[in-house]
Amino acid sequence: MPKFPSSFDLLNALTPRGSVRERRDIAYGSRPRQQFDLYLPASAKNPLTSLLPVVIFFYGGSWRSGARAEYRFVGRQLARHGYIVAIPDYRLYPEVRYPDFIDDAAMATAKIAEMIASEGGDPSAIFTAGHSAGAYIALMLALAPGYLAAAGYDRGKLAGAIGLAGPYDFLPITGPTYKLIFSPAPDLVSTQPIAHVDPGAPPCLLLQGALDTLVAPKNTASLSSLLRAAGTMVQSRIYPNIGHISILLALLPWFAWRAPVMADINTFIDEVCTADPSLRTDPAHDLAGRTGSG
Show me where the domains of the chain are located: 7-291
State the pLDDT at residue 9: 73
Confidence of residue 284 (pLDDT cuts 50, 70, 90): very low
Average pLDDT over every residue of 59-77 = 97
Query: For position 129, what pLDDT does the model report?
Result: 98
- Of residues 170 and 289, more confidence is placed in 170
* Residue 273, H or E segment: helix 261-273
Distance CA 158, CA 156 (A): 6
| Average pLDDT over all residues of the chain | 91
Decide: 256 and 285 in contact? Cβ < 8 Å. no
What pLDDT was estimated at residue 173? 96
For residue 222, pLDDT beyond 90: yes
Residues near 124 by beta carbon (within 8 Å), at least 6 away in sequence: 157, 159
| Amino acid found at 225 | S
pLDDT at 8: 76
CA-CA distance, 128 to 88, in Å (whole number)? 11
Give the separation between CA 85 and CA 80, rounded to whole angstroms. 10
Q: Which CATH superfamily is domain 7-291 in?
A: Alpha/Beta hydrolase fold, catalytic domain (3.40.50.1820)
Residue 256 pLDDT level (bands cut at 50, 70, 90) = very high
As a whole number of angstroms, the distance between CA 180 and CA 183 comes to: 5
The residue ranges of DSSP E strands in 138-262, in sequence order, are: 160-164, 204-209, 234-239
| Nearest one of 194, 223, 197, 219 to 209, comparing CA atoms | 219
Q: What is the pTM of this model?
A: 0.92
Examine the pLDDT at 246 and tell me if it is beyond 80.
yes
Least confident of 67-71, 101-105, 134-138, 273-277: 273-277
In angstroms, the CA 19 to CA 38 distance is: 14
**Reading across the β-sheet that carries 160-164, which strands appear in turn?**
21-27, 35-40, 84-88, 52-58, 121-131, 160-164, 204-209, 234-239
3-state helix, strand, coil in the chain (%, to 5): 40, 20, 40
Q: How confident is the model at residue 49 (pLDDT cuts 50, 70, 90)?
A: confident
